[in-house]
Amino acid sequence: MKRTNLTLGLFGFGCVGQGLYDILNQTKGIKAEVKKICVKDRSKKRPIPLKYFTFDKDVILNDPAIDVIVELIDDASEAFNIVSAAMKNGKKVVTANKKMVAEHFDELLKLKEENQVSILYEASTCASIPIIRNLEEYYDNDLVKSIAGIFNGSSNYILTNVFENNLSFDLALKKAQELGFAETDPTLDISGLDSKYKLSIINAHAFGKNVPEENIFHLGIQSLSLADINYAKEKRYKIKLVAKSIKIDGELYSWVIPQFIDLNDFLYSIENEFNGVIIEGAFSEKQCFVGKGAGGHPTGSAVLSDISALTYDYKYEYKKYSQNNVPTSADNFLIEVYIRYKNENDINQLSFLSIHEQYQSDDFNYIIGNIDIKSLSIKEIKENKNIFIAQTTNQAVHSINVSNNISGVHKFKEAV
């Protein structure tokens, strides 16, 4: 098979950019050379000679010798400007920017079609795990029932250290930042937003359905307390930040939420900056992909796999978009949650459809019950530091007698 040599223009030279540069230099088999690197900060010391750098994006965007731009900057809207300009100039694109891809998904697809250029973004979701490529190439729509996983390395690193090493949340976050796992703004990681961007991208390749990220419910781990950790440990659970999409009767349910995980779940033993993705197939049953979800080298290696695929002229085909079994997006459904709170008035805006457990003490209180996921979306609940919410295990949900109950989802209309 014919392989093309590629000339690259790189945007961004942070943790991933440098990781990629290292890898490219040590990987002789892949015929791709970085010609120029565009960075923002003129004063920062760089580990390689200054002649490789430019501060003007047009130097790369207008260079006809550059075939591929590799976009690895933080700022999602500037990233979109760069990527769309590059595609209009006929350049192929590799990007690791989940926010940019999730927020501009349809526009990027249109740019791809109009300009007939490939855009690949494996590194944007779960870093080193080849999940996009597998969903795109291997798992037919009919064969995917659900996707669930730990999609954020930084928050998983924090959870592991808080759970296993008794670190404080703040210290664990600080360590994650020092190790280069966290985004520049760590709110993205711990709030569940980062996982949601990834879930949105995964939905497109798993089910042929782009659920806009603003329509996906998300909750984070920012208000996790020692009381919650102790509760989980007592029950022999861990708490993981889980993103999931489940297809039931042609409808797609997607959300991101902290969840109690028991010993028998594949996600139980996924620790530190590792990510894990469970694909439930109609006939293959559960499959799990595990790998590092953060860090310069793991992310850089995914970028490199995309660059290598471009040397063979690979492009995503988005086959599932044109199949006739694309699900519709559901947003009204029940889940069973644990809600820990301080004062009754913290939660008086919430109405449970059924309550299964209730605990009160001088230190903290919790309720376990079924609730419409939409009612958790209000700002006063999401931003209240006194409240921590986690989905109970799937098993706990299964014990309630509601019809159409698969993997912890209840259809709202049937449960009322």
User: Contacting a second copy (CB under 8 A), which of 42, 283, 361, 416?
Assistant: 283
Which tokens sit at 326?
A: 């694309």
DSSP for 321-384, written as a single string: GGSTTPPEEE--EEEEEEEEESSGGGSTT---SEEEEEEE-SS-EEEEEEEEGGGG-SHHHHT-
Q: Is 328 in the site for a second copy (CB under 8 A)?
A: no
Bridge pairing between strands 68-71 and 144-150? unpaired
Bridge pairing between strands 333-341 and 365-372? antiparallel
User: Contacting a second copy (CB under 8 A), which of 98, 198, 292, 410?
Assistant: 292
One character per residue 251-280, x = contact with a second copy (rule: CB under 8 A): ---------------x--x-----------
Question: Which residues make beta-bridge pairs with 53?
Answer: 37
CA distances from 87 to 119, 122, 153, 180, 309 (A): 8, 18, 30, 30, 17
Q: Which of 138, 140, 81 is nearest to 111 (CA)?
A: 81
Q: Is 288 in the site for a second copy (CB under 8 A)?
A: yes
Q: Is 301 in the site for a second copy (CB under 8 A)?
A: yes
User: Contacting a second copy (CB under 8 A), which of 41, 234, 249, 285?
Assistant: 285
Q: Interface residues for a second copy in 9-68 (CB under 8 A)?
A: 19, 22-23, 26-30
Q: Which of 57, 91, 92, 198 is catalytic?
A: 198
Q: What residue type is assigned to position 111 of the chain?
A: L
One character per residue 113-152, x = contact with a second copy (rule: CB under 8 A): ---------------xxx--xx--xxxxxxx---------
DSSP for 170-218, written as a single string: HHHHHHHHHTT-S-SSTHHHHTSHHHHHHHHHHHHHHHS----GGGSEE
Q: Is 322 in the site for a second copy (CB under 8 A)?
A: yes
**Whether 326 contacts 320, CB under 8 Å:** yes
Nearest distance from C-beta of residue 309 to a second copy, angstroms = 8
Q: Is 403 in the site for a second copy (CB under 8 A)?
A: no
Q: Quick check: is 198 catalytic?
A: yes
Our CB check for a second copy shows the closer of 19 and 186 to be: 19
Active site residues: 198
Q: Applying CB under 8 A, which residues contact a second copy?
A: 1, 3, 19, 22-23, 26-30, 128-130, 133-134, 137-143, 266, 269, 281-292, 297-298, 300-302, 304-305, 308-309, 312, 317, 319, 322-325
